[in-house]
Amino acid sequence: MSTTIYISDLHLQSSAPELTELAFELFNSIECDRLFVLGDLFEYWIGDDSIDQTAEAVSQKLKTLHKRGTEILVMHGNRDFLLGDKYINGFGGSLVTDDVIKLEIAGKQTLLMHGDTLCTDDTQYHFYRRMVRNQHWQKDFLSKTVSEREATARMIRNTSKASGSRAHRNSIADINVNTLQETIDNHGVERVIHGHTHRPALHSKTDSINVERMVLGDWHPGEAVIAVSDETNCNLFKWDGNSLAALS
């Protein structure tokens, strides 16, 4: 039976080794045909030419997983949108540059996405997103020295943290229901799987929208909410570093 695992929002970084350990425990133990990383594998990414020890260790671990027969597909998130083919191909993975992937999963037409494009009430973020996803901006940014890019990334992260807490308190970092409905209509799907909002749950037929919305979790020490599917089922599970338990 073919098995696929979906994860997002790991936010791996050298300053949080416990998250890397949790990820490695999953990669060591899972037996799956495909692994989808739906954005924010890393807390930030300033270019494939700047790889720290954590990123190198992640690459080696995913290379081992790939050699065991797992297809690995990685989507950009709002933090690691500069991930490139050089790094992803280095462990045998494939980089997904589209905002969405439409697949039939467990008998339902399903849309896979990071989820940030659904949060249209967060106008400040979407202004930033349009800027940093622009090819000219990226070319200019990547032409700078590593130290210059690191300084810019620190400034962006500090600004994001300062405004992000306010955004979540005001609920503007969650999805916009109208944007969700428009996305569903445009793609003709019955299920959406995404991350980004840090609100892991099965939102089934809520907000007057007749689809299943599965939200993956942001990773914490000893806890990650992921999705697992086979030919007949697709469900959310909690990974604690040792075993999977159905998300209640």
Residue 160 confidence (pLDDT) = 66
- Secondary-structure percent of the chain, ordered helix, strand, coil, rounded to 5: 35, 25, 40
pLDDT tens-place string over residues 10-23: 999 999 999 999 99
Residue 52 confidence (pLDDT) = 95
User: What CATH class is the domain 4-117+175-246?
Assistant: alpha beta
Report the predicted TM-score, pTM, of the whole model to 2 decimal places: 0.94
Beta bridge partners of 227: 6, 236
> Six-digit token pair at 44?
């930030």
pLDDT tens-place string over residues 43-87: 999 999 999 999 999 999 999 999 999 999 999 999 999 999 999
Residue 159 confidence (pLDDT) = 73
> Six-digit token pair at 78?
């709002």
Beta bridge partners of 192: 111, 213
Query: Mean pLDDT for the chain?
Result: 92
pLDDT tens-place string over residues 165-197: 554 445 557 899 999 999 999 999 999 999 999
- pLDDT band at 129, cuts 50/70/90? very high
- pLDDT band at 105, cuts 50/70/90? very high
CA 51 to chain centre: 19
Short-list 94, 93, 103, 13, CA closest to 59? 93
Residue 128 confidence (pLDDT) = 92
